[in-house]
Structure 1
């Protein structure tokens, strides 16, 4: 079994489980499912019309705050994340991005995940092209995971990709990630 086959089989299993157990009635993920069925190399950023990314909603223990980054290329505040990089699980890829981009220390996977790799949300969205990388506008199939961290600990933004990293009120997610925000409102801090 090739690395791509193993990756796509794992992604297909997670997407199917997400659609059966988590997704709302309007979440169909048609393009992502089509690309998986067509065996596109979704683990490579060159794959068009879209490819896999992972991101992290790092919450304060009381769920009042979320850690966001001021993204250099996109020019707005977003949750930390990036193109999928090989990892033992998708949430480990998201965690690595959060730590790299913000310097957040000791984040832990949120109890909602029950230690597993089921995404809290999957958001397929269009992103602008990046002329520096000769990339046209394309789709990010973003597997989103929840983490908990202490907002009192210092942050260090990764200056190549991030202007700043800061804790913001959880309501900031309403515009950034409406599906995840709506789902978060139903959680209690104890999970």
Structure 2
């Protein structure tokens, strides 16, 4: 199965937790139906990305990266690569690369969708159709900052970073989902 087909399957089966998320789910599926290259970074109108909200072993803190390009705290994640078989695979690969933590377990069901405008590696304005997953660290291994980050830090799920209103619904989704994941 291709990454594109896998993305269609994942989003077709996902039960959105709200009317707004359901509307986004349909928009993603429409975009996937219109664009065979929707998962490729080279798709200039926009492309699917995969991210992970990494929780610590207690499930009470989230690991965030201070993104060098946008200067804000965000969850770990990024573009899908040709070797990724699924959005889940892409999200887990990105989480491991950006956190330096190998012992991570991902929930196969997305917890949140978000579309945001960005100028990414294409150098032109585009949109990221981000599919967000919940990931658990099985150990207390310290994160190791990668070259893709200015900083890494654990943030309480009850208190996202200031000036990060976009993280509020993601943190809420994580709190709701965390008791149902490995």
Please say whether Structure 1 and Structure 2 have the same fold, judged by a TM-score greater than 0.5. yes
Aligned to 1:119: 110
Aligned to 1:164: 151
**Offset, 1:123:** 1.4
The whole-number CA distance in structure 1 between the counterparts of 2:178 and 2:66 is: 27
Q: 2:123 aligns with which of 102, 110, 135?
A: 135
Q: 1:52 aligns with which of 22, 42, 48?
A: 48
Aligned to 1:69: 65
The whole-number CA distance in structure 1 between the counterparts of 2:169 and 2:154 is: 20
Q: What's the CA shift string for 1:108-132, capped at 9, x where partnerless?
A: 12xxx3xxx33121212222x24xx
Cα 1:162–1:49 shift into 2, 3 Å: same
RMSD: 2.3
Structure 1: runs of 5+ lacking an equivalent: none
How many residue pairs end up in the alignment?
175
Structure 2: runs of 5+ lacking an equivalent: none
The whole-number CA distance in structure 1 between the counterparts of 2:151 and 2:173 is: 26
Q: 1:89 aligns with which of 71, 81, 86?
A: 86
For the 8 Å contact 2:66–2:150, the answer to whether it is kept is: yes
The whole-number CA distance in structure 1 between the counterparts of 2:37 and 2:51 is: 19
Structure label with greater radius of gyration:
1
Alignment of 1:138-153 (within 5 A): 138-149=126-137, 152-153=140-141
For the 8 Å contact 2:6–2:85, the answer to whether it is kept is: no
**Offset, 1:140:** 0.6
Range with bigger deviation, 65-74 or 55-64:
55-64
The whole-number CA distance in structure 2 between the counterparts of 1:62 and 1:189 is: 11
Kindly indicate whether residue 11 of structure 2 is the aligned counterpart of residue 7 of structure 1: no
